[in-house]
Structure 1
């Protein structure tokens, strides 16, 4: 069963994570010092057995019903072990460690053996991926709905000249999530009669499994032969006995001077060296030969494509309904049941344009005319319905299974947010950091950058959509069906509370609250192992101090506590009991005036957000949070003093926005940052120089906005010239020049300049910024005039940049000595 596979995958990932900790040098040394080394080694051996038993269960297809309960117990034990190890890092007592390891490890192994899983144990292999069946080229075009335009667009690309010259072999990638119809589209093109006139040879090869060059060559040769003849079958049997050199010769002979169309369906391999090997073998063909490759992975599409990727979109609602009717009724039968067709219209909306989902739901209702059954399908999550091997859940689960374990684990937590939620990178990064899912292997890479890599990889695998990248900050959504998959994967561990929730399982470790009416204290689990509490929706928060006290005393292993939109005047001193806490989000607590000094005891705290705390007046004196990495202040209207004596040596990101009374920034913090945003804080003056001014800085993101007195950017920016990737300068009316060091910012990818009307020049040498991908200049009339495409004097310096957006030049500015564009009266609003 699918949910059994999910459970095994989750436990395997947790066990793997714990093993990673137990084999680390730090754990070994500390466990020896505390006298529990033998106990840790015993627990490590037990986890190895667990991994082996799980791998055996993957191979062994006849699973006993008792395995489900065994997996449930293992999940609880592994989760409790994580708590103990976390406590061990906080120097908890020896007794806890001994009890956690010694009392459970023999039972774990014994139960695994009892369920018949202890055969061959190997922990060096990942789960066996259950790939999709081999595809074939035949299709009846009349069975396909809504892909005519897509077919025509692909055919246009097939006849279009190659962008790198006609002698090159053109590759057109078709990319999209599982079930969207990539293979179907490729079949439509492959079987179009115009292809027979365009190409001398057509071949269809399903890659799907491992990217084995020898197997692929055999498939191409076989596809190029007449597979219907008996001689071809004998030929196929013969080539299986050839070595790789003989196969290459046969392939080249078969393709020599032939103009061919080759479809490589369902590509999963991301090894560029293997791809180049295959492509080299296909050289020698006639001019105009083309390859169509289908894949779910944007990165693979970019790797193989010589033409831009064709990103397949979902079907229209009308086409979805037509497809649904085709699968739910016999031909013409729908006319007898207009009431069911109306419900069908509502059903297909949950499919979000994915044809396989439409087919899945339509097929589930074929020859069923009971109104209650249709209503059940309409109101149920798609994953609660019976699934056959070719339906949508197995199709998307295949993409999930193919991900590395760290991504699978991160993906799970999308389930804690509602559908159509607009994620920002800081939200999901904070959660992943808080859950300990992001770790720097060498200690040099920031956790935010690692999270960005994870998000990019999920995006490349078509799990994310509506992706908008603005440098350090970006947003995206999760496709509805992908969100449902996350719900399915995480349903025993995560729960979303709304007005329909009646109870919370003891197994739940993470919960989010999306409706205020769901805060009945009787609902909440009494398990001490709850790790996460979220309030992700605006205007839904906690208003009961007694409930907070209960959570603090009960859930002592909390790692993430999000109290957004709550109404506390202050936090209780007992917050210090949450010594495992990594993330504390107090956003939009408009009543809170102060933080208790006990918050300084949260030495594991990595993220503190005070966005929208409009009445916050001050912070604890001598605030020292040795692990704090991200600190956010926004719309803190009454905060006048940022921090006095501080100890924030680990701080990597500082966000300060719309704090109208704040006057200064602590220099010691600025010298450590990787990301700094200071926006609409008109009383703040950026320091010109910092201590140790020759120190190389790691800053990669800088956004400064609305500094009415600033005439030049501070000198310390030069110290970050090697690392700065995003520079955003907005609404600085007195700024008259950019720093010369701009031209040595070799890592700079985005430069955005807006509403700096006195700015008239760029430093010479901008053409050296070869990494620069996006340049925007607007609201600087003279500079815009000089940067106009093709005609401006600066255009030769910036024409190499991929995305250039230059605003329209306005009226002529006064020359130097003729006065400023602004009078004193114009500047008064900024100078007040």
Structure 2
């Protein structure tokens, strides 16, 4: 992964040299020499990274290079801090009182010269191992620099499944015939065969959903805990089950399921000790056709769990036709699954044949080739695949290894991020993207918004089928994800080889925070760059004081995510220590209790780019120094119920791209930020507004949003609003015409805003209206002079008074693909999901006519 480390460092170095801080300028010659050497090496580092797996000497050389790059990055960060301190004391007599730090300058100069000498020697060594052909590659530097992909957003439907219809029908037929006792069904086979996919198709089937009153999906995995399994079962039933012992947990489960027909999926079971399952199953109600589906790689597991041979299903590998069909859907997704280049079909079928009908292998290779468009690239992949298969008989791991090798450098770091999370952990896209931005994994070119580039990196991994989508919004935006257990095996192996992450915590630069962590895992590790909460859904980290005290010792920490954590020590005391981490770029305190205020010490975090304090219900005020964080790109204060307003001067944060939970100050709140300041935030992409009082919008401030040309996503929430005058102000608060997505929550008016029409919002693609008093749409909503919406997705939720006819909507929204309508009893003739409405439009809900 050295090529990834070099890429990140060069990006940071180039940006820093442009800033021209005094201290950085003093070492400009050494930094530029370092830059030149690394740029020359970039072309062959990818090959060297691959070959080091077979050559231990080369592996050691590359490890030394990686450590030198990290040391150079630390020096660069220290120089930036020194430059900033110089700027503070550059006027008048202060410059004489605080002269330049001569010791720092001498030591830094020596370290940089020594690093440059070592890197020059390493370059020669690597070239000698790679052979004479490497000198020919050095003239092709531009060709070696990976650019952002052609398809930065999802280009195919991740839910598409090929060749498993007979498998799901067989399992469903068994479920329909269940009677007394508990029916146990086993799905068994090698990794990557599609066992979990089959179980998911059955679990999510509409007929199965209607048949079973309770359904529970439990990921068991290798490192399972019997008590945690029972807690997971209760969470799926809506019970947090905090503090109960095993007996009480099982009693609760029994109560919830008593008299109900239920379905439990135990996914990815490894344990050959069947006693844990015997104890759980004995406490479950019997009869009513209740069933359990178990997926595993081991037949012995099913035997231990008392699954009869007649109810063990062993999926077949995909036949050649279905293998090619699945491959086409992914590798040629940009052209709708059609192979438009005949020269690629023959070599594509040769590659697919090597996958031996395993869906995971086919998807990984297809996702990789989605980003390769030339015959010679496909031929090279086929040759490399042949070599990988020669070294490893497993037909899944070679395809995954090849997919990793072919990742652009910036995506390798992003991909290895998954190594920190426990098995079967569901991860939020937001945490990943913020981490990648904070640590500089995301390439920033041509002034592109970092949040947009980060989301593109995420899409680059999902399109390559290395990351699985778990949860999406109505319009297809991905919220959470996970990785296949076979993919995780590769991630863990590569992360340990590259010192990205180690279970022991020693010597690595990234680590996950959880309740079970040992203080020794953080001890004396000054290399750490990222510490993140990696707790599973529904769980909370309980952090001891001995561990929390170690956080502030990680001098070069860039990323600190403490979300969903409870601390033994005072949170205020902990945050005061965090103020010493001046290299910090990403800080998340989301759902960290009890956060009441941010201490003065955090004013030192001038490098902060992302600050997340969402779901801090006790947070009452944000400090004025927040407006000095000039590098801030993301500020999330959403769902902070006690927060009355944000500090005055927020408009100075000209780099802000995401602002969520913005609560404008009222006329009497003189220290607060008025909505008019939003006019200055010209780079804003996402904005979440919370409006409650009429005087939060002055008469001269109604145009605050209209000129925000970069704004694509806007949410306006009027939860707990007061007074009828707010509706008149909202009616004049025009969003920018370039808006892509709009969400109106708890809208207080009976009539929709006049600006909600296809002419004013001619670029709008998605509209979500939920809760509130809305009863009718303004006549402008339905257009005039044959104007029509470009809306593709419409969501209407919990609008008990809204009256609207489907025919009218259909006329004015010809591009509509998705309709989700729920708890809207007065909608007339809206299509119902069961009808299978032509054109992909669907609706779900209750009490429709």
Equivalent residue of 2:30, what SS? helix
Give CA deviations for 1:616-650 in whole Å, capped at 9, x if unaligned: 33332343211112222245444344324444332
Paired residues, number = 587
1:108 alignment counterpart? 119
Q: How does 1:349-428 map to 2 (within 5 A)?
A: 388-428=392-432
1:685–1:303 Cα change, 3 Å = farther
Q: How does 1:175-574 map to 2 (within 5 A)?
A: 180=193, 268=331, 278=341, 296=364, 297=366, 388-443=392-447, 445-462=448-465, 463-469=467-473, 474-492=479-497, 503-506=504-507, 508-514=508-514, 516-520=515-519, 522-537=520-535, 540-541=540-541, 543-544=543-544, 547-552=547-552, 554-564=553-563, 565-567=565-567, 568-570=570-572, 571-574=574-577
1:205 alignment counterpart? none
Give the Cα separation in 1 of the matches to 2:751 and 2:800.
12
Give CA deviations for 1:378-401 in whole Å, capped at 9, x if unaligned: xxxxx9xx9724432212122222
- Deviation at residue 781 of structure 1 after TM alignment: 5.7
Q: Conserved in 1, the CA contact under 8 Å of 2:782 and 2:808? A: no
Equivalent residue of 1:491, what SS? helix
Give the Cα separation in 2 of the matches to 1:33 and 1:465.
43
Q: Does 1:764 align with 2:782?
A: yes
2:90 alignment counterpart? none
Q: Conserved in 2, the CA contact under 8 Å of 1:559 and 1:582? A: yes
Q: Conserved in 2, the CA contact under 8 Å of 1:690 and 1:716? A: no
Q: How does 1:611-626 map to 2 (within 5 A)?
A: 611-623=614-626, 624-626=628-630
- Deviation at residue 668 of structure 1 after TM alignment: 4.8
Of residues 58, 61, 65 in structure 2, which corresponds to 1:67? 58
- Deviation at residue 494 of structure 1 after TM alignment: 6.2
Give the Cα separation in 2 of the matches to 1:424 and 1:619.
26
Give CA deviations for 1:293-342 in whole Å, capped at 9, x if unaligned: 976557988999xxxxxxxxxxxxxxxxxxxxxxxxxxxxxxxxxxxxxx
1:106–1:56 Cα change, 3 Å = farther
Q: Conserved in 2, the CA contact under 8 Å of 1:702 and 1:727? A: yes
Q: Conserved in 2, the CA contact under 8 Å of 1:675 and 1:702? A: yes
Equivalent residue of 1:511, what SS? strand
Q: Conserved in 2, the CA contact under 8 Å of 1:34 and 1:94? A: no
1:560–1:725 Cα change, 3 Å = same
Of residues 140, 146, 149 in structure 1, which corresponds to 2:166? 149
Q: Does 1:718 align with 2:734?
A: yes
1:628 alignment counterpart? 632
Give the Cα separation in 1 of the matches to 2:326 and 2:445.
36
Q: Conserved in 1, the CA contact under 8 Å of 2:43 and 2:145? A: no
User: Structure 1: 5+ residue runs without aligned partners?
Assistant: 1-9, 130-144, 154-176, 183-259, 283-291, 305-382, 814-832
Q: Conserved in 2, the CA contact under 8 Å of 1:432 and 1:438? A: yes
Q: Conserved in 2, the CA contact under 8 Å of 1:426 and 1:473? A: no
Q: Does 1:587 align with 2:590?
A: yes
Of residues 701, 707, 731 in structure 2, which corresponds to 1:695? 707
1:69–1:449 Cα change, 3 Å = same
1:315 alignment counterpart? none
Q: Does 1:670 align with 2:678?
A: yes
1:688–1:566 Cα change, 3 Å = farther
Give the Cα separation in 2 of the matches to 1:754 and 1:55.
50
Larger radius of gyration: 1
1:274–1:804 Cα change, 3 Å = closer
Equivalent residue of 1:489, what SS? helix
1:25–1:639 Cα change, 3 Å = closer
Q: Conserved in 1, the CA contact under 8 Å of 2:805 and 2:827? A: no
1:469–1:419 Cα change, 3 Å = farther
Q: Does 1:727 align with 2:745?
A: no
- Deviation at residue 592 of structure 1 after TM alignment: 3.2
Q: Conserved in 1, the CA contact under 8 Å of 2:30 and 2:116? A: no
1:670–1:50 Cα change, 3 Å = same
1:774 alignment counterpart? 793
Give CA deviations for 1:397-437 in whole Å, capped at 9, x if unaligned: 22222332222221111222223333333211111111112
Give the Cα separation in 1 of the matches to 2:540 and 2:332.
44
TM-score normalised according to structure 2 size? 0.59
TM-score normalised according to structure 1 size? 0.60
Give CA deviations for 1:246-265 in whole Å, capped at 9, x if unaligned: xxxxxxxxxxxxxx999689
1:15–1:274 Cα change, 3 Å = farther
Q: Conserved in 1, the CA contact under 8 Å of 2:528 and 2:556? A: yes
Q: Conserved in 2, the CA contact under 8 Å of 1:178 and 1:395? A: no
Give the Cα separation in 1 of the matches to 2:367 and 2:790.
21
Equivalent residue of 1:584, what SS? strand
1:317 alignment counterpart? none
Give the Cα separation in 2 of the matches to 1:778 and 1:574.
45
Equivalent residue of 1:527, what SS? coil
1:650 alignment counterpart? 655
Give the Cα separation in 2 of the matches to 1:401 and 1:451.
21
Q: Conserved in 2, the CA contact under 8 Å of 1:513 and 1:534? A: yes
- Deviation at residue 279 of structure 1 after TM alignment: 6.2
- Deviation at residue 128 of structure 1 after TM alignment: 14
